[in-house]
Amino acid sequence: MSYPYRVVISHSISESVTIEDESRNDVILTEYLPKERMKDILRDALERRGWTKVDDDHYAREGDRGETMVFDLEEGAVITSVNITETMEKEKTVTARGAGRSHARKAELRERVKQKLEKQLKFTEEERTEKKDEIQEKASQVLSETENSRKEELNDILMDVYAESLREKAKTLGQVVSIEENRSDDGTVFEMQIKIEE
């Protein structure tokens, strides 16, 4: 005599999807002093603003939204990258019924149902593409929304570099009598007046 039984199987799958996007801001440094001295002044300005030295020509900083900025002094560019990883998940529970006395038949039913579930839950290329597009949009949004603040920071750094290089240049031209510096509240205008006696 066979007995009815039921088997409850739960199965879940997950898959990670990673997207990296980047933008580039070129930085043209006017050389008021020799190139290497300008780089030294730039290095000091970056370190004062919290950038971390990676090597002699690369400095990095983490942005407020998780973006990573790398200043390449040799190339004269800031590369900002956003790396986002998200996990896709699926889960399903099914109940299967069978009849019999054998534990082997019950185990066989369990295995068949599990294999069927694995096939049903498998991610399609369409689902992967949809997830990649969704993450790509998030990464692009971070880069877009942080663009203005990055430009403002780079402008501030360059103003510091130019101010220091002009102070040094003035000392080579004669006796510096006075230096007056004025910056607008929004940081878009910087004026410097240097009086020199020869």
Local confidence pLDDT in tens for the 198 residues of the chain:
567 777 788 878 899 999 999 999 999 999 999 999 999 999 999 999 999 999 999 999 999 999 999 999 999 999 999 999 999 998 888 777 777 777 777 788 788 888 888 788 888 899 999 999 999 999 999 999 999 999 999 999 999 999 999 999 888 888 888 888 888 777 677 787 888 887
Contacts of residue 12, Cβ cutoff 8 Å, sequence gap at least 6: 89, 90, 91, 92, 121
pLDDT value at position 44? 96
pLDDT value at position 2? 64
Cβ pair 135, 159 in contact under 8 A = no
Could you tell me how many helices (H) and strands (E) the chain has, helices first? 3, 7
The reported pTM is 0.76
pLDDT value at position 6? 76
Cβ pair 106, 89 in contact under 8 A = no
Cβ pair 150, 63 in contact under 8 A = yes
Residue written as token pair 């996990």: 87
Q: Where do the domains of the chain lie?
A: 3-13+90-125, 15-85+130-197
Cβ pair 125, 15 in contact under 8 A = no
Q: What pairs with residue 55 in β-bridges?
A: 58
